[in-house]
Amino acid sequence: MRRLFLFRITTIIVAIISLSACSLVNKQADNSRQQSLSIGLWNLQCMFDGIDNGSEYAEYVSSKGWDEAKYQSRLAQFAKALAAMNADILAFTEIENASVVRSLGETAELSSQGFYHLAFSTNPGASLGVGLLSKYPITKQFSHSISVSGMDSPRPMLEIWLKPADTPLVLLLCHWKSKLGGDAETEIRRRVAAKLAARRIKEIEAEFPGMPVMLLGDLNENFDEFYRHNENYITALLPDTEIASRLAASACITGTLGADCYTCTQDYLVISDTKPPAGSYFPASWISLYSPWYNELKNGSYYYQKDWETIDHFLLGEGFFNNTGWEFDTARVLNEPPFSTKAGYPYGYKPYFASGISDHLPLLLELKLY
């Protein structure tokens, strides 16, 4: 059984923490002929291991019937499904710890495909974190967390630098605050997370012009969230429209959270339907990202109250559309077995019966080397 490169990160508020890792395996992916790159993203719906440590959700403890056998069965089920993606990088949300990520990578199905490198991050005391498996070495990694007016981002943002085919790209893996407690009431927590993402993307683009940067993960926010709430308030993802821009400018004038009257810092992300993304109604310095939900991705990745939601995202910076290095090609929702029911809906996992797989559908994105 092969061992993996492990990047485990402990985060603190308003800090960047960087760790180096020793080499635990001597086999590397062959970069020499790499002309395309595929990235899979999946919310694994409460992927807990079989050990009680006090932070699990109520359904995933031994007193409720959760045990090592159910965990191992679920691990094997995910390994087969993930291998069927034929991806080069696998990004996860809702995964308990680095040991679970490692165990996935060490299954026969995924180790045979060359997933020898992993990263994981969570906040202290949190039940779940975010993780990643890669066929290519992780050249740098950081974990970021933020606190604004006493409100913390509930999970860290995991920053991963890779260099397939000797051509770099940066992934920012996130899992933003859910809507438990009310859509409008929790929106400010997602805006806090968007503020962190916008700040970090600006920093990377300033230091490395043209660097392709991608924000991905379960953002608990639809790409059309602003319209779903009748354009009544600022959402963490804003469309590039005059109405959204006016509302954001009004907030800047009145000095609401994240929109300082003097500096007017960006606490939302402008999402665009154009390639490359370019804001027409927002300041040129504002971060604008392309969302494949406008064109390539269909229906949704999460089905709630008989309606599709588009809360899982690939959001791409302009570095993926500059005719150099890694360029965006396409993306799709994996809405067929083993990722879904035969009808194409998510097959939510029920721990008591050990049935189903996940209440989210995975996404798959393709890049090509220009």
* Cβ-based neighbour number of residue 9 at 10 Å: 20
Residues 6+ apart with CB under 8 A from 263: none
On average, the pLDDT of the chain sits at 89
Q: What is the pLDDT of residues 85-96, one digit of tens each?
A: 999 999 999 999
- Rounded Cα distance between 331 and 319, Å, is 17
Q: What is the pLDDT of residues 329-355, one digit of tens each?
A: 999 999 999 999 999 999 999 999 999
- Rounded Cα distance between 135 and 90, Å, is 9
* Cβ-based neighbour number of residue 263 at 10 Å: 8
Residue type, 214: M
* Cβ-based neighbour number of residue 241 at 10 Å: 16
Backbone angles phi, psi at 324, to 5 degrees: -155, 145
DSSP-assigned beta bridge partners for residue 197: none
- Rounded Cα distance between 343 and 83, Å, is 22
For residue 24, the model assigns a pLDDT of 32
Domain assignments of the chain as residue spans, ordered by start: 5-10+34-225+290-369
Under the banding of pLDDT at 50, 70 and 90, the label for residue 285 is: confident
Q: What is the pLDDT of residues 169-190, one digit of tens each?
A: 999 999 999 999 999 999 999 9
Q: Where are the beta strands (DSSP E) in the chain?
A: 5-10, 15-17, 36-47, 89-95, 117-122, 129-134, 138-145, 147-148, 151-152, 157-162, 169-175, 213-218, 237-239, 269-272, 288-290, 302-304, 307-309, 312-316, 326-333, 363-369
The CA–CA distances, whole Å, from 259 to 28, 90, 224 equal: 45, 35, 22
Q: What is the pLDDT of residues 313-333, one digit of tens each?
A: 999 999 999 999 999 999 999
For 5-10+34-225+290-369, CATH gives 3.60.10.10
For residue 9, the model assigns a pLDDT of 35
Q: Mean pLDDT throughout 258-281?
A: 78
Query: H helices of 179-295, where?
Result: 183-207, 225-228, 242-254
Q: What angle do CA 337, 164, 293 make, to 5 degrees?
A: 45
Under the banding of pLDDT at 50, 70 and 90, the label for residue 28 is: low
Q: What is the pTM of this model?
A: 0.91
